[in-house]
Structure 1
Amino acid sequence: MPRLLVLGIGNSLLTDDGVGVFAAEALQKETWPENVTIMEGGTFTQDIFYLFEGYDRLLVLDVIHAGHAPGTIYRLTEEDLIQKDNQRLSIHDVDLIDSLKMAELRGKRPYLQVVGMEPQDITTWNIGLSEPCQEKFEKFLDVAREDIHKILQEMA
């Protein structure tokens, strides 16, 4: 059975940088099919290539800096990240692409998709989201759920 890893990355101590981690925590409380794993990846994205073993697809939840209003939600493919320098997943995207390459060297790697949110603040020590990101957080979760269900249909 094809498997999906949903990975929330970021630093939950730096305001909006934690949006992916907060989303993973919320989604972990829900019921998902046995071929879906939801995990918090923190900020150690280059060292997590071993986690990708056995997964066919990878959905990452993180912040994206693309110059739009805080709380803007994005859907990106792996190709988008590689080809578009103006859309960056905080500092985590370069490490994440490297981790995927390392997983490929070990044999198999999942195909990457991203659901991201434009942050307002990723420098203030604070547990919780800024007001604009908090206002859009439920929508962020809805988009993540939609993508999980769509990926499951594609893998069926």
Structure 2
Amino acid sequence: MKSKGKILVVGMGNLLRRDEGVGVHVIREMERIPLPNHMEFLDMGTSTLDLVCHLDAVDKLVVIDAMKAGGEPGTIYKCAPEDLIPKEEGPISLHEIGLLESLSMARKMGKQVETVVIGVEPENLGWGLEMSDTIRARIPDIVEAVLKEG
């Protein structure tokens, strides 16, 4: 269902860890193309606790991040924040604890925001500034997944 209000699209990730920076790279790409006026973009990096400060007057939050869920590299996932609660096998997102804490804090402050997480299975989380070719090639598909949310 299309959202009619303000949508905040947040890119998360560490640019120093190759594919871990996918959320930030997607935000940078989206800022260069014409997009709907009701969408705003934020490079959150790894500062998830700062998210609460940006939720005023937001109707929907879309978070883009690397997500280790055991799929093929480049797999795009869509889930709710509750799906990121660590299971016995461990967390699937490298930021999910901070994200969940931030959203919980926002709820306690009366900022209940519909939230969707767009996760991307990374191929290489080693040190380096460049994403893998696999993940770089998926950026248009990730952008499309984000646009479907608004």
Instruction: Give the TM interval when normalised to the shorter protein.
Output: 0.7 to 0.9
Task: Supply the distance in 1 between the matched residues of 2:103 and 2:145 (Cα, whole angstroms).
Answer: 23
8 Å CA contact 1:3, 1:35 repeated in 2? yes
**Structure 1 counterpart of 2:80, from 70, 77, 94:** 77
Residue 125 in structure 1 maps to residue 127 in structure 2: yes
Give 1:100 shift. 0.8
**Structure 1 counterpart of 2:37, from 31, 34, 39:** 34
Which residue identity is paired with 2:84?
L
Task: In structure 1, list runs of 5 or more residues that go unmatched.
Answer: 149-156
The alignment's C-alpha RMSD in Å is: 2.1
Give 1:114 shift. 1.0
Superposed, 1:1-156 pairs within 5 Å as 2-82=5-85, 88=91, 90-122=93-125, 124-148=126-150
Give 1:53 shift. 1.8
Which residue identity is paired with 2:48?
T
- For normalisation by structure 1, the TM-score amounts to 0.83
Give 1:79 shift. 3.3
Secondary structure of 1:38's aligned partner: strand
Task: Supply the distance in 2 between the matched residues of 1:67 and 1:5 (Cα, whole angstroms).
Answer: 28
When you count helix as a share of all residues, which structure comes out higher? 1
Give 1:84 shift. 6.2
Which residue identity is paired with 2:24?
V
Which residue identity is paired with 2:23?
G
Structure 1 consecutive aligned stretches of length 4 or more whose deviation exceeds 4 Å: 83-89
- For normalisation by structure 2, the TM-score amounts to 0.86
Paired residues in the alignment total 147
CA shift digits 1:17-39 (9 cap, x unpaired): 01000001111122333321111
8 Å CA contact 2:84, 2:93 repeated in 1? no
Secondary structure of 1:134's aligned partner: helix
8 Å CA contact 1:65, 1:87 repeated in 2? no
**CA 1:85/1:48 → structure 2, altered by over 3 Å: closer, same or farther?**
farther
CA shift digits 1:30-54 (9 cap, x unpaired): 2333321111100010232111122
8 Å CA contact 1:53, 1:109 repeated in 2? no
